Structure 1
């Protein structure tokens, strides 16, 4: 039995869950195990109320089958994989000559901000890791390893004003994903990297989800919860930590803050197949960021056997259709949204959907299109149309030099095309 078959077998006892491996087989994993130069691995762990009985590796944003498909399709020169691959190789962050600039302290918000150093290095590590995984170029693998090792040897603190929680969340889940790709690479100090994630990033992630910076539970927008949920989930996968995986998945389902599915998607319009997103009355830039954040969360869980994409009758899919439809220039319904702000939960409301940043293009749509239309064979015309507008997706450095251009790891076309 090869590694892909083993990975399938250990999931199939969960009959109530859709098997991502079964769908992968029907979608067509295109080459035999070993084509990536290393088979998928699983680590057995004790039972938990949400975590898988075993963790699959690689198993965060990118599982073995997706990586293998990208490798085979790019080598064959097939589109859209090839055009997606060319977005990676054209990005300066993917150069094997990139040198890390590690800091002991990262500050986001307030005096002395330097967090741009961190997100640029993370995206360089991630992009170099993809180049190694897809093309097998050792120079890129070495570059990714060296960036990750440099930061785990030096970083001790993430701080700043409330924005420190954004830094811990966004860069935590991105860092963990880069490391997951480099697991087992010669010279990569995975244990030291795990220690950094557990000691520097996780405490802030946990502090935010449990205390929300001592503010009213509804004060912070959905993305604040979501990025910290993503970091905890990715750290749980990287560290084979079922308790952290459980914490993140259970928060998605029942959490009190705005990142949980019922709060992030507060209003359903089932007759139209749509649902309102929590930040829709704020602006479309942050709303589309939410599509990327929740999409990443669902994909990481999917790669461990949990179908959160379809949770609560495809609640997230309906929200993504809503956001896509509005950003394609079409009308959508809107229900007055109210919430409490600050420490005293002062009343606030939004009565109309915001047109701010309407139509903004971010690399968040192909992951959703290829899941719902590709794996699930569902009709998601607005998601599909948005994906077609952005395709082929780039990544960090392709959508501006400020932090918003680095909120998503990107490259969904090459990584998720079916």
Structure 2
């Protein structure tokens, strides 16, 4: 299959050889399988590959191998990203997990910090094992993953339980995907935990939105649950769940679907097309969180041969350019954004972009710069400037102890530097 901008990574060539690389429309492919999808409004179509690529979530073989080669050669900026990883205490092979049977986010008895710290420790140790081959780090990652799959039975709390199920579900599944096949890793038990503890909440949220108006929740709430379903689908080789997540991205009625997350397009602003992000009138911290959430979703799909980055004429790219331009201190247009809240869809509006937390640093930009500029050869000056301004990107533990510092797995400079 060909594209307007051919890709040049070893991963792309492998996907193309196997007939798995799909066009930006992404609705059909030579190796697609039929599967029902739920939680969507509008048409659905099969997108899941007949055979899933592994490792095939945030990091496929091409990205992992590039990081390994570049770090071994001492090349920057990959080496700077590696040094950021090894300096993070979560990546230490001596990390001891603290698994809980019940995780609570929201309400009385919150303890979810225990979960996200252990997840990031598992992920960071997994990266160190892949890049440097250090058995102690691989053993540590597996020790953490096995401890939680043997213990966790419930994620609960107030409405925030859906955030926990989404954010930590997709992060957990990604850490496990990296350790697939490692000696001693109980993958089957881990899959059972993901399917029984995380997926039901993800599915419940996308279908029911906590019994609220469909637009009540911000884009990030949908996106993290979409991410969890997609990551679980990849981990478990589940075509139906894969289709559920991808179809929601394309057709979902909630704010995480692409046309709701980027509701307004401006065709020419200083020579570039921009897209207003759904949370831009709220604050910039959550807006940039959205860049990380949608970027993760698109990258996971890309690993399986679906180009959602380019879906609907690069709609996400236009949104990321918009967010980057504003957070670089430049002006952007804004269209009044109106939505329904609560159970009765009471109308509220944002009439201006919010300057709250403008310029906040989050490790979400190198992955976007790598895709659009390196893979696709497109001019994305605002994304580029943001990526360069926050490099080298760290991960959980590098951006404060609050949960917001753990909303993204990070280390984009190591894994995706151009």
Q: Same fold (TM over 0.5)?
A: yes
Which structure has more relative contact order (CA 8 Å, sep 6+)? It is: 2
- What is the TM-score with the length of structure 1 in the denominator? 0.91
Q: Is the 8 A contact 1:62 1:303 kept in 2?
A: yes
| 3-state SS in 1 of match to 2:53 | strand
Choose which of 225, 229, 243 in structure 2 pairs with 1:232.
229
Choose which of 257, 260, 273 in structure 2 pairs with 1:263.
260
Question: Cα offset for 1:319?
Answer: 0.4
Aligned to 2:83: 86
Q: Is the 8 A contact 1:47 1:53 kept in 2?
A: no
Q: Aligned pair in 2 of structure 1 residues 135, 17: CA closer, same or farther (>3 Å)? A: farther
Question: Cα offset for 1:9?
Answer: 1.8
Aligned to 1:124: 121
Q: Once the two structures are superposed, what CA deviation does each residue of 1:328-383 show, in whole Å capped at 9, x if it has no partner? A: 00000000000010011001001000000000010000000000011001000000
Choose which of 8, 17, 24 in structure 2 pairs with 1:9.
17
Q: Is the 8 A contact 2:142 2:179 kept in 1?
A: yes
| 3-state SS in 1 of match to 2:103 | strand
Question: Cα offset for 1:271?
Answer: 1.7
Q: How many residues align?
A: 392
Aligned to 1:407: 407
Query: Which one is further off, 266-275 or 277-286?
Result: 266-275
| 3-state SS in 2 of match to 1:250 | helix
Aligned to 1:25: none
Q: Is the 8 A contact 1:275 1:319 kept in 2?
A: yes
In the alignment, the residues of structure 1 paired with residue 159 and residue 283 of structure 2 have an alpha-carbon distance, to the nearest angstrom, of: 20
| 3-state SS in 2 of match to 1:269 | strand
Q: Once the two structures are superposed, what CA deviation does each residue of 1:50-81 show, in whole Å capped at 9, x if it has no partner? A: 11122100000000010000001100101111
Aligned to 1:396: 396
Q: Is the 8 A contact 2:101 2:152 kept in 1?
A: yes
Aligned to 2:179: 182
Aligned to 2:299: 299
Moved over 6 A (4+): 2-5, 15-18
Q: Is the 8 A contact 2:222 2:254 kept in 1?
A: yes
In the alignment, the residues of structure 2 paired with residue 318 and residue 5 of structure 1 have an alpha-carbon distance, to the nearest angstrom, of: 27
Give 1:185-204 correspondences, 5 Å limit: 185-204=182-201
| 3-state SS in 2 of match to 1:275 | strand
Aligned to 2:5: none
Q: Is the 8 A contact 2:275 2:319 kept in 1?
A: yes
In the alignment, the residues of structure 1 paired with residue 51 and residue 150 of structure 2 have an alpha-carbon distance, to the nearest angstrom, of: 29
In the alignment, the residues of structure 1 paired with residue 234 and residue 118 of structure 2 have an alpha-carbon distance, to the nearest angstrom, of: 22
Q: Is the 8 A contact 2:53 2:303 kept in 1?
A: yes
In the alignment, the residues of structure 2 paired with residue 7 and residue 364 of structure 1 have an alpha-carbon distance, to the nearest angstrom, of: 25
Q: Aligned pair in 2 of structure 1 residues 15, 177: CA closer, same or farther (>3 Å)? A: closer
Question: Cα offset for 1:3?
Answer: 10
Is residue 372 of structure 2 the alignment partner of residue 375 of structure 1? no
Aligned to 1:63: 60
- What is the TM-score with the length of structure 2 in the denominator? 0.91
RMSD of aligned alpha carbons: 1.6
